[in-house]
Chain A
Amino acid sequence: MHPAYSVIVFTTASGAGYGLTIWLAIAALTGTLPQTSAVVWLGFAVALALIVGGLLSSTAHLGRPERAWRAVSQWQTSWLSREGVAALVTFAPIGVLGLSLLALPTGHAMQSVAAVLTIIAALVTVYCTGMIYASLRTIPAWNQELVTPGYVLIALATGGVLYVLVTAFVAQAPLAIGWITCALLAGVGVLKWFYWTAIDSPSPAWTAEAATGLGTIGKVRQLDPPHTQANFVMREMGYSVARKHVARLRPMVLLTLCAAPMFFLALILTVAGPTAPLWAVLATTSAGLGVFVERWLFFAEAKHVVTLFYGAEAV
Chain B
Amino acid sequence: MTSLPQTTNAKLGLVIDLDTCVGCQACATSCKEWNTAGYSAPLSDEDPYGSDPHGTWLNRVHSYEVDNGSAGQTVHFPRSCLHCEEPDCVTVCPTGASYKRAEDGIVLVNPETCIGCKLCSWACPYGAREYDYSDGVMKKCTLCVDRIYNESFEPEDRLPACVRACPTGARHFGDLGDPESDVSKLVSDRGGFDLLPEFGYKPVNKYLPPRPRRDNEPPVPGLLQSPIDAVDSSVLDTPRDPLERFFAWADQMLSR
Given A65-B115, A78-B91, A226:B60 Cβ within 8 A: yes
Q: Which of A31-39, A66-74, A100-108 contacts B (4 or more CB under 8 A)?
A: A66-74
- A139 contacts the other chain (CB 8 A): yes
- B116 contacts the other chain (CB 8 A): yes
Pick 25 A–B contacts, CB within 8 A, sort by A: A62-B116, A67-B95, A71-B117, A77-B2, A77-B91, A80-B94, A80-B117, A132-B119, A136-B88, A138-B88, A210-B198, A211-B196, A214-B64, A214-B66, A214-B209, A219-B67, A220-B64, A221-B66, A222-B64, A226-B61, A227-B54, A231-B54, A233-B121, A236-B121, A306-B127
Give A210 to B199 CA distance when docked, in angstroms. 11
Q: Which of B131-139, B156-164, B179-187 contacts A (4 or more CB under 8 A)?
A: B131-139
Instruction: Return the 6 tightest CB-CB contacts between A and B, nearest first.
Output: A63-B116, A63-B136, A224-B63, A81-B94, A226-B60, A306-B127
**Residue on A with the closest CB to B111?**
A64
- B53 contacts the other chain (CB 8 A): yes
Give A138 to B129 CA distance when docked, in angstroms. 14
Contact B123 A138, beta carbon cutoff 8 Å: yes
Given A74-B2, A213-B209, A217-B68, A224:B92 Cβ within 8 A: no
Contact B122 A229, beta carbon cutoff 8 Å: no
Give A105 to B91 CA distance when docked, in angstroms. 47
Q: Beyond A78-B92, A217-B66: 18 further Cβ-contacts under 8 Å?
A: A1-B122, A63-B115, A64-B116, A64-B136, A64-B137, A68-B115, A70-B115, A136-B92, A139-B122, A217-B210, A224-B23, A228-B53, A229-B54, A230-B54, A236-B131, A237-B127, A304-B122, A306-B127
Contact A73 B209, beta carbon cutoff 8 Å: no
A residues with a Cβ closer than 8 A to B are: 1, 61-65, 67-68, 70-74, 76-81, 84, 132, 135-139, 206, 210-214, 216-233, 235-237, 304-306, 309-310
Residues of chain B in range 180-206 having any CB-CB distance to chain A below 8 Å? 193-196, 198-199
A138: chain B residues at CB < 8 Å are 88, 122-125, 199
A309: chain B residues at CB < 8 Å are 62, 77, 79, 126-127
Number of residues on chain B facing chain A (CB within 8 A):
65
Across the interface, A237 reaches (CB within 8 A) one of B73, B92, B121, namely B121
Residue interface mask B46-74, A partner, CB < 8 A = 1 = 00000011111100111111111100011
Contact A226 B3, beta carbon cutoff 8 Å: no
**Residue on A with the closest CB to B130?**
A232
Contact A222 B92, beta carbon cutoff 8 Å: no
Contact A221 B67, beta carbon cutoff 8 Å: yes
> From residue A90, how far is it (CB to closest CB) to chain B in Å?
17
A216: chain B residues at CB < 8 Å are 209
- B113 contacts the other chain (CB 8 A): yes
Contact B115 A62, beta carbon cutoff 8 Å: yes
> From residue B117, how far is it (CB to closest CB) to chain A in Å?
6
B residues with a Cβ closer than 8 A to A are: 1-3, 18, 23, 28, 52-57, 60-69, 73-75, 77, 79, 88, 91-97, 113-119, 121-127, 130-133, 135-137, 193-196, 198-199, 207, 209-210
**Residue on A with the closest CB to B131?**
A232
**Residue on B with the closest CB to A233?**
B127
A132: chain B residues at CB < 8 Å are 119
Give A229 to B62 CA distance when docked, in angstroms. 14
Contact B124 A306, beta carbon cutoff 8 Å: yes
Give A232 to B94 CA distance when docked, in angstroms. 21
A233: chain B residues at CB < 8 Å are 121, 127, 130
> From residue A67, how far is it (CB to closest CB) to chain B in Å?
5
B62: chain A residues at CB < 8 Å are 222, 224-226, 309-310
> From residue A134, how far is it (CB to closest CB) to chain B in Å?
12
Contact A231 B136, beta carbon cutoff 8 Å: no
B93: chain A residues at CB < 8 Å are 74, 78
Give A306 to B127 CA distance when docked, in angstroms. 6
A212: chain B residues at CB < 8 Å are 64, 75, 77, 195
Give A252 to B66 CA distance when docked, in angstroms. 42
